[in-house]
């Protein structure tokens, strides 16, 4: 009799574990799926067998990778069938999707390999995977938005929607299973040296046909340390100059970029491109396989890279950028990147950055609507100027702007200014925009308009939009409510907007919006959005030699 009972119990268990209708009743599945944005969908895609968050997470990532490869094939099929006959806007949107799909495949493959190896990750390694999975979802959303105005939407939008939900399951399981609890209240850290001071040395034998500044840079970096802020200061493997009169290595920036090595690991240092003063009318593209590139100009308004692509002239927002950055570990210094399409042409991007671990120091970004597209991954901006009108800092990266000057301009008639439009679509994404220790004041054209244009700190582009403004000077021109709605009550309870210890006549929070998602926070909460805690940035920013404050400003 005991053997018969054991057989019946085993038979019952096997029946339950193989029954699709009862699979969702396993306690383990219910426990892990409560973290997902759509728990019922999560339960429907996990295997019909008991497991833990690690086994389910690995399964979800493998399935996500399969779907990513499938979607890439679908995009290529669409391009093959429609590429020669479809409208320009459709082809552009599909090309954008193909590029984004290739990135997504890379991100998910890397993430899957990482979690297959261990259940325990360091903070920085966990942040890598968390960032890659967040970016995969962002890529899907960007693709979908590009297709919305094209004839391809009906063919692919359903697949994009389902893929995004699956990637959301993978992100949720990873963020709850592998991401360690962050250590808060780390001490602020800042290199003592400053970047610019090292460009003044003169010694040794120099190459011919170099300007004085190129010689100074060459002396400083050729085979030696560029910055001496710390023991592992920046190394430079090679240096080339871009001079329009033909006396340097190249006359265009893109030629210099093409000369940079492919897929370098950075062990020999940065490939430094020195771009001398001049107006460079070209669309610069740093592709994903160009890693550890440093680009140094002659200063803001001296080295100027300019273009005029816009949505109004038929470009997608994604491809309207004058400067496109996809390669990781990029450093940009002392230059202006500009889009001159103007306020009447709609979205017209100056810089689009999807380069992980990208750093811009002492640069200026100038346009009107959608100036700075912080698309995805991890980014840091220090002592930069940003000029724009509608949503002029937007995207879904994990980004900190520190000690920057933000200048709202005079927009098209009938428009308001929003400094930010952050695009987080999933509550488990580690993305958001931090404005830290900056200055927000009107550009000259807006200042002379007697402030008839309403200006806000931001509005929620997506459901979980997240922006924090802290220890920043805000001039009197800001609308007292501080923040603007996107449409009706969309995202007002799911967004996270916060202010901490700002100064200036526009910083008074007594008349701010009363949305459920808006907060005036304390120092403890604000520390979550610093370079150290939000970007896990002390290592990767520290190695660039660019100055930063890791914690709150004392």
Give the bridge partners for 530, in sequence order: none
Residue 429 in domain: no
- For residue 133, the domain's CATH number is 1.20.140.40
Instruction: Say what the pLDDT of residue 16 is.
Output: 35
Domains identified in the chain, total number: 1
**Residue 545 has what pLDDT?**
85
Residue 49: per-residue pLDDT:
85
Map residue 281 onto helix, strand or coil: coil
Q: Note the pLDDT of residue 30.
A: 75
Going from the C-alpha of 258 to that of each of 125, 174, 284, 289, the distances in angstroms are 30, 37, 11, 11
At 234 the pLDDT is 72
The secondary structure of residue 478, as a DSSP letter, is S
Q: How far is CA 1 from CA 8, 301, 453, in A?
A: 11, 90, 85
Question: Does residue 202 fall inside a structural domain?
Answer: no
Residue 470 is assigned to a structural domain of this protein = no
> Which residue range(s) make up the domain with 110?
28-178
How far is 485 from 419, CA to CA, in rounded Å? 13
How far is C-alpha 4 from the chain's CA centre? 61
Residues of the chain with pLDDT under 50: 1-26, 183-210, 221-232
Candidates 269, 156, 290, 139; CA nearest to 543 is: 269
* In-domain check, residue 213: no
pLDDT at residue 25, as a whole number:
42
262 CB-near residues (< 8 Å, 6+ apart)? 289, 290
The residues, any chain, with a CB within 8 Å of residue 228's CB and separated by 6 or more, are 193, 198
Residue 440 inside a domain? The answer is: no
391 labelled catalytic? yes
Say what the pLDDT of residue 299 is: 94
The catalytic position among 298, 391, 426, 479 is: 391
* 421 lies in some domain: no
* In-domain check, residue 489: no
Residue 196 lies in a domain: no
The single-letter DSSP state of residue 280 is E
């Amino acid at each position: 009799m005991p053997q018969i009972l054991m057989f019946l119990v085993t038979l019952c268990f096997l029946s339950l574990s193989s029954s699709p209708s009862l699979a969702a009743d396993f306690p383990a599945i219910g426990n892990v799926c409560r973290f997902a944005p759509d728990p019922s969908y999560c339960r429907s895609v996990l295997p019909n067998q008991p497991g833990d968050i690690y086994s389910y997470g690995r399964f979800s990532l493998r399935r996500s990778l399969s779907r990513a490869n499938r979607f890439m094939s679908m995009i290529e099929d669409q391009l093959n069938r429609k590429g020669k006959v479809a409208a320009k806007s459709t082809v552009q949107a599909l090309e954008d999707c193909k590029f984004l799909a290739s990135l997504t495949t890379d991100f998910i493959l890397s993430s899957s390999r990482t979690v297959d190896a261990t259940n325990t990750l360091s903070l920085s390694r966990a942040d890598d995977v968390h960032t890659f999975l967040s970016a995969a979802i962002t890529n899907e959303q960007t693709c979908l938005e590009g297709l919305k105005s094209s004839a391809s939407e009906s063919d692919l939008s359903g697949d994009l929607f389902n893929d995004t939900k699956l990637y959301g399951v993978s992100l949720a399981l990873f963020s709850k299973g592998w991401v360690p609890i962050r250590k808060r209240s780390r001490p602020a850290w800042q290199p003592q040296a400053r970047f610019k001071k090292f460009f003044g040395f003169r010694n040794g034998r120099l190459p011919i046909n170099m300007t004085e500044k190129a010689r100074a840079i060459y002396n400083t970096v050729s085979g030696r340390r560029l910055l001496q802020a710390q023991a592992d200061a920046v190394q430079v493997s090679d240096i080339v100059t871009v001079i329009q009169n033909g006396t340097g290595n190249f006359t265009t920036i893109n030629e210099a970029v093409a000369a940079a090595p492919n897929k370098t690991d950075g062990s020999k240092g940065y490939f430094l491109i020195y771009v001398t003063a001049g107006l460079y009318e070209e669309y610069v593209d740093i592709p994903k396989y160009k890693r550890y590139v440093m680009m140094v100009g002659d200063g803001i308004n001296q080295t100027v890279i300019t273009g005029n692509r816009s949505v109004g002239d038929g470009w997608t927002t994604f491809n309207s950028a004058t400067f496109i950055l996809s390669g990781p570990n990029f450093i940009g210094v002392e230059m202006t990147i500009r889009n001159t399409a103007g306020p009447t042409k709609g979205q017209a991007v100056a810089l689009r950055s999807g380069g992980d671990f990208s750093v811009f120091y002492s640069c200026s970004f100038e346009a009107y609507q959608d100036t700075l597209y912080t698309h995805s991954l991890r980014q840091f901006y220090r002592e930069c100027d940003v000029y724009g009108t509608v949503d002029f800092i937007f995207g879904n990266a994990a980004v900190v702007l520190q000690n920057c000057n933000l200048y709202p301009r005079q927009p098209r008639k009938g428009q308001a200014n929003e400094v930010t439009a952050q695009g987080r679509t999933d509550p488990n994404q580690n993305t958001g925009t931090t404005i830290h220790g900056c200055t927000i004041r009107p550009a000259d054209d807006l200042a002379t308009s007697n402030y008839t244009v309403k200006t806000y700190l931001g509005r929620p582009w997506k459901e979980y939009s997240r922006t924090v403004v802290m220890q920043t000077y805000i001039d009197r021109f800001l609308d007292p409510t501080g923040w603007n709605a996107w449409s009706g009550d969309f995202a007002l309870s799911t967004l996270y907007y916060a202010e901490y210890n700002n100064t200036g006549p526009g910083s008074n929070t007594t008349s701010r919006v009363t949305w459920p998602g808006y907060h005036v926070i304390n120092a403890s909460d604000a520390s979550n959005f610093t370079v150290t805690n939000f970007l896990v940035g002390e290592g990767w920013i520290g190695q660039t030699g660019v100055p930063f404050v890791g914690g709150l400003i004392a």
